[in-house]
Structure 1
Amino acid sequence: MKADYLFMNGEVITVDEQNTVAEAVAVKGNRILAVGTSDEMGKYTAEATKIIDLNGKTLMPGIIDAHIHLTIYGTNLLGVSCIEHHIQSLEDLFVDLRKKVNETQKGQWVRAWGFKESNLKEKRYPTKEELDGISTDHPIVIIRTCNHTCVVNSKALEIAKIDENTPDPEGGIIERNTDGTLTGRMIENAHMQVFQHASYTNEEIRKGMKLASEEFIKAGITSIHDAGGYGEGSETIRIMQQAVKAQEVKVRIYAMVGSLTNSHEFVKKMVDAGPITGLGDDHFKIGPAKLFTDGSSVGPTIATREGYTHSPDDNGIIYYSQEELNRILGEAHEKGFQLTAHAQGDRAIEMLLNCYEAALDSHPRQDHRHRIEHAGISSPDLQDRMKKLGVVVTPNPVFIYANGDKYLEYYGERVEVMYPARDFIEKGIVAAFGSDAPVTYLDPLLGIHAAINRESMDKQAVGKNQCIGIMEAIRAYTWNGAYASFEEKIKGSIEAGKLADLVVLDSSILNQEQHKIKELKVVLTMIDGKVLYNPENHTSNDLKMKVKV
């Protein structure tokens, strides 16, 4: 059997059981044919074989982002970005919003995303009145980077039927001035409810999914675990499947059954409908049933057992009572679903573990791989329970880089057990890394950098005791992600017979200085044996060409 592609003379990080570093890989069709030395791979060469000389660069398994929001990331690309370098103040943002208003039909939504008040000169949110000054004919919504808070204008409040007499929804806050008037800021469930009215059309969602898939592939991401979006979840999953079938979305998808709004209703609908975790194929599969239990780590609105360090009387928001959590997820477990929930604070994690214990006591199941999304403040007692229950966690090391200074302010010494990758490894808890993009940065190499260095963007140490090694970080972004979706036998490592999902970096990651990991770039991404990203197009047309990446 001859290869379609031969990757030669490289640093091949296989992520096999022995963490073997090989030199060459042969690919046939959509599978890995063989792994070994460059000389050994020579026997697979044919006239039509495309030979890629890596010249010492890293070849590694395709990145599996175990927690990301495909729809939100994609539709954000259709709105105003608050993370552009030129936006240094509220007025800079207002200029871009005015431009968008001028391009948008009256009555249609104007949306901005990625807002972070601490990044701006004023260090505050815009007011409802300031947004009214931009337009009262267009509903305007500015979504904070965490996707748990937004600010809206009067037109948006009118459409959402929210006024001074509207009570706070359960698990949410409609912020008010001291005189009872609305500020325009919507927190947690209040934000989620507003965005039901600001949702995108199906055509916009599908267009956004395609754009997001292209960005993911450029970043070396070959598989994602989609953590849901706004709106009615079953409609989003339907559109997602259509986009995958039409090959508009080319990353592999493990779709969580959850949404940012009324996730319990979507879970109930899917449980009653009959499909369970694992339904699908190698390109699209139904994932776990997912709820939200608490809020945002940088809100801060996560549910903690003790008050926040900077605000001792505040310990966050809980979405469901223990009884409700047990009932909703317990039924999904009974029907065969893998379970998961967004749980950031130690109080929320404790409640979720209580739920899993109750579900497994009532209906025991081997190898359930129930998950915890984020697992933010994972104290030692909670880690012990995770290990005992066989729980998989999906921490987000890039949060340390992006938000570490705020974590130190909000949680104090608890940063020592925030997203504690070292503890998870030492206790034998499988931790699959995810970016949570667009909540924060997409780049998995930045995520690997953050896990290794545990420093914030401004170089503050944030729980240095939780630093891990480069091979451990790569495994968390590859094989562990495959394990979290019951797919470790077909992907997540470079071994003969597995799917040919591969990534090439612009140099050796093992020889890169520890504090410069984030500077590495992806120069080739292969999914299903097809090169989908290769900006210099090294492997096109000339089938005999021996190329250098």
Structure 2
Amino acid sequence: MQLNPDTIYYNADIITLDAELPQAQAVAVADGKIMAVGDDHEIKALATSQTRMRNLAGKTLLPGFNDAHIHVLLSGIRHLLSVDCSGPGIADVLEALRQRCQQTPKGEWVRGILFDDEKIVEKRMLTRKELDSVSTNHPIFISHRGFHSHICNSPALAKVGFSKNVAPPTGGKFDFDANGELNGVIHETAVEPIRAILPEPDEKQRLQATQEICRKLNSAGITSVQDGRTTAADLATYQQAEEQGILSLRVAAMMHYNTFENLKSVGIKAGFGNRMIRIMGVKICVDGAIAGRTAFLSKPYCNSADKGILAMSQEELTQWVISIHRAGLRPCVHANGDAAIEMTLEAFEEALQEYPAKNPRLRIEHCTVINDRILKRLKKLGCVVTPFSTYVYYHGDKLPSYGTARVANMFAFRSFLDNDIPAAAASDYIAGPYEPLLGIQSCVTRTDIHGNIWGPEQRISIEEALRLYTQAGAYASFEENRKGTIKPGMFADFAILESNPQKVSSDTIKDIMVLETILAGKTVFSRESDHAE
């Protein structure tokens, strides 16, 4: 049966990202999907008396943005329960924590997020003693912006029995002060014992966090996300949020590795779900972080003998990858450093040799520091990679630790595209800013917040960057036939911008205002309240 359009958007500057019709003026939507695309005259002719007509007055309409690796509910919960520790100085951070302690019963946890040693005035990490000066009546736990390093006060360390006489967990690391005492900074898997005892948010808090993070991401034009660490509780919350009508993002979930056995036992495979929530794979982590300078490298960091942190052995990694792949649940492996990426590729090769699969699209999350050998192996295996898209702009001040030669092969979108390796843009929020337009500018200019240029060899065009955030993101989750382009049959997920990113100076793309975000033909964000539904 021929549907009549519910809504027609016309007089628009439409970027379709469809090779057959790259530009258009109007789009008709029916039952949450795109019905027709073309010029104003032909599309307006489809209208009935019931069709809502939206004159966009020349504004730009394009597919809704898709973040290929972002921590969605985790970020929402952290925002809800934690103190903003972004500064500008350490004194400001300590005062914010002190105020929260005054409002918190003794003995209860006080948490902080968004602390960044390179963004803070003092350009250093907080210490255990500084946090003790705030309170020793509360365990205090602060997460670095990169989320792979954390700072604890003495009561927090005591809760899990950490001391100078205790070795960190495998894949973890403690930092020490000049006297050989723990300075409060812990890295990677050392955080797991603390995470295990942190109070869990209740159902009401989880739903509130979901609603608030959806609003935040919708306001940036994001309609789809690929959640980089989805727990069983998170999946349940997403389902509940959808039932209550407050989930305004399409979620492709990388399930936490501790859910694997349960998923396998009931026969769930990658792709299970509906239009809003799908299980995409299982996430495992091989090494550390770029922002925390703990990624596992083949050669040491600049001015250091350190090569980073490895979370598991080759044998353990290979066993995980083979088990997940064999179960049809798609391994999604966090690997930043070149040495960690090589290990991951070895595991992938063994898994595919033992259990061949057609178009498996095994994923390497981040895949940051690469070389020519890695490129060849990625292409041969058909891997999907999800490099950081906002990091050059936001984390440029951390890149000297990697050196000029390595930076030329980091966040290597140009190399991936030139070698036909499927790459999709990812923020890893909270670790990096989530705004896609900022990410597009970062990928196009390779310029940081201070105007410094990093790895100009990896610059890409604006159109290529737009595809990374739309079409490529859909491919990364096996949904390229559902979303990512504006053509008939695709989901009616759009972002409406005040300007066309292809028609402004590349160093002002991040300043373009998102006017409206539409999911399945319904407005989920609008700067003009009369358009909200």
Deviation for aligned residue 1:414: 0.9
Give CA-to-partner distance per residue, 1:132-181, whole Å, 9 cap, x none. 22112211111100000111111211222323322111111122234332
1:281-360 matches, cutoff 5 A: 281-311=274-304, 313-360=305-352
Q: Give distance in 2, aligned partners of 1:293 and 1:18.
A: 41
Give the residue type in structure 2 aligned to 1:529: G
1:274 Cα offset (Å)? 2.5
- After TM superposition, the structure 1 = structure 2 runs for residues 190-269 of structure 1, keeping only pairs within 5 Å, are 190-203=190-203, 204-228=205-229, 233-258=231-256, 263=257, 265-269=258-262
Superposition map of 1:64-103 within 5 A: 64-78=66-80, 79-83=82-86, 87-103=87-103
* 1:273 to partner: Cα distance: 4.1
Matched with 2:64 is: 62
Q: Which amino acid aligns with 1:15?
A: L
Q: Secondary structure of the residue that 2:529 maps to in structure 1?
A: coil
Corresponding letter in the other structure for 1:174:
F
Residue 318 to residue 221, structure 1, CA distance change in 2 (3 Å): same
Shift of the alpha carbon at 1:199?
4.6
AA matched with 2:212: L
Distance, in Å, in 2 between the alignment partners of 1:88 and 1:48 is 53
Match of 2:104 in 1: 104
| Whole-angstrom distance in 1 between the partners of 2:149 and 2:75 | 16
> 1:510 aligns to what?
502
* In structure 2, distance between residues paired with 1:277 and 1:540: 34
Return structure 1 stretches of 4+ with deviation > 6 angstroms.
none
Whether the aligned pair in 1 keeps the contact of 2:284 and 2:333 (CA below 8 Å) is yes
1:257-306 deviation digits (Å, cap 9, x = unpaired): 12xxxx4x333443334311111001001111111010011221111111
What residue identity is the alignment partner of 1:466? Q
Q: Residues 210 and 540 from structure 1, CA distance in 2 versus in 1: closer, same or farther, beyond 3 angstroms?
A: closer
**Does structure 2 conserve the Cα–Cα contact (< 8 Å) formed by 1:19 and 1:471?**
no
One-letter code aligned to 2:274: D
Q: What is the CA deviation profile of residues 461-512 of structure 1, one whole-angstrom value per residue up to 9, with x for unaligned ones?
A: 1111111111111111011111111111111111111111111001222211
Q: Distance in 2 between matches of 1:125 and 1:420?
A: 29
User: 1:319-359, CA deviations, whole angstroms, 9 ceiling, x for partnerless residues?
Assistant: 11111111111011111121111110000110111111000
Q: Is the 8 A contact 1:408 1:462 kept in 2?
A: no
Q: Distance in 2 between matches of 1:224 and 1:422?
A: 23
Q: Could you list the runs of 5+ residues in structure 2 that have no partner in the other structure?
A: none
SS in 2 for 1:227: strand
TM-fit CA distance, 1:19: 6.3
- Give, in whole Å, the separation in 1 of the partners of 2:432 and 2:65: 17
* Alpha-carbon shift at residue 44 of structure 1 (Å): 1.7
- Which residue of 375, 384, 394 corresponds with 2:386? 394
8 A contact 1:75–1:208 mirrored in 2: yes
Deviates more, 1:240-249 or 1:40-49: 240-249
In structure 2, do the counterparts of structure 1 residues 301 and 118 end up closer, same or farther at CA, with 3 Å as the change threshold? Answer: same
Q: TM-score, normalised by structure 2?
A: 0.96
CA contact (8 A) 1:149 1:185 kept: yes
Aligned match of 1:545: none
Provide closer, same or farther for how the CA distance between residues 104 and 202 of structure 1 changes in structure 2, counting only shifts above 3 A: same
Q: CA separation in 2, counterparts of 1:70 and 1:298?
A: 19
State the secondary structure of the residue aligned to 2:323. Answer: helix
Aligned to 2:367: 375
Counterparts of 1:308 and 1:372 in 2: how far apart (Å)?
A: 22
What is aligned with 1:44?
46
Tell me, which stretches of 5 or more residues in structure 1 are unaligned? 542-549
Given the superposition, is the C-alpha separation of residues 72 and 254 from structure 1 closer, same or farther in structure 2, using an over 3 Å criterion?
Answer: same
- Assess, with a 3 A threshold, how the Cα gap between structure 1 residues 167 and 19 changes in structure 2: closer, same or farther: farther
% identical aligned pairs? 35
Aligned residue number for residue 490 of structure 2: 498
TM-score, normalisation: structure 1: 0.93
Q: How much has 1:46 moved relative to structure 2?
A: 2.2
Partner of 1:149: 149
Q: Is the 8 A contact 2:118 2:398 kept in 1?
A: no
Residue 7 of structure 1: how far off its partner (Å): 1.1
- 1:423 to partner: Cα distance: 1.1
Q: 1:14 aligns to what?
A: 16
Identify which range, 181-190 or 407-416, moves more after superposition: 407-416
Q: Give the superposed CA RMSD.
A: 1.6
Q: Secondary structure of 1:210's partner?
A: helix
Residue type matched to 2:319 in 1?
R
Counterpart in the other structure of 1:519: 511
Distance 2:320 2:91 in 1: 45
Per-residue CA distance 1:499-544 (angstroms, 9 max, x = gap)? 1111100122221111111110111111011111112134479xxx
Indicate which of 430, 433, 444 corresponds to 1:438.
Answer: 430
Q: How far apart, in 2, do the equivalents of 1:531 and 1:426 lie?
A: 37
Cα deviation, residue 247, structure 1:
2.3
Please say if residues 267 and 290 of structure 1, whose CA atoms lie closer than 8 Å, have aligned partners that are also in contact: no
- The answer to whether the aligner puts 1:423 opposite 2:426 as a matched pair is no
CA distance in structure 1 between the partners assigned to 2:130 and 2:448 by the alignment: 32
Answer yes or no: is the 8 Å Cα contact 1:357–1:389 preserved in 2: yes
Q: Determine helix, strand or coil for the equivalent of 1:417.
A: coil
Aligned residue pairs, count: 529
Structure 2 partner of 1:544: none
2-structure distance, mates of 1:310, 1:460:
21
* 1:277 aligned partner: 270
CA shift, 1:67, in A, is 0.4
Assess if the C-alpha contact under 8 Å between 2:493 and 2:519 holds in 1.
yes
Does the CA-based 8 Å contact 1:293-1:343 persist in structure 2? yes
Q: Distance in 2 between matches of 1:155 and 1:190?
A: 16
Counterpart of 1:333 in 2: which secondary structure?
Answer: helix
Q: Which amino acid aligns with 1:335?
A: A
The separation in 2 between residues aligned to 1:266 and 1:31, in whole angstroms, is: 33
Residue 50 (structure 1) shift: 2.1
CA contact (8 A) 1:71 1:228 kept: no
Question: What is the distance in 2 between the residues matched to 1:410 and 1:426?
Answer: 23
How big is each residue's C-alpha offset from its partner over 1:176-209, in whole Å with a ceiling of 9 and x where there is no partner?
A: 2343322111111112332222253233333212
Distance of 2:301 and 2:184 partners within structure 1? 25
Say which SS state the counterpart of residue 402 (structure 2) adopts. Answer: helix
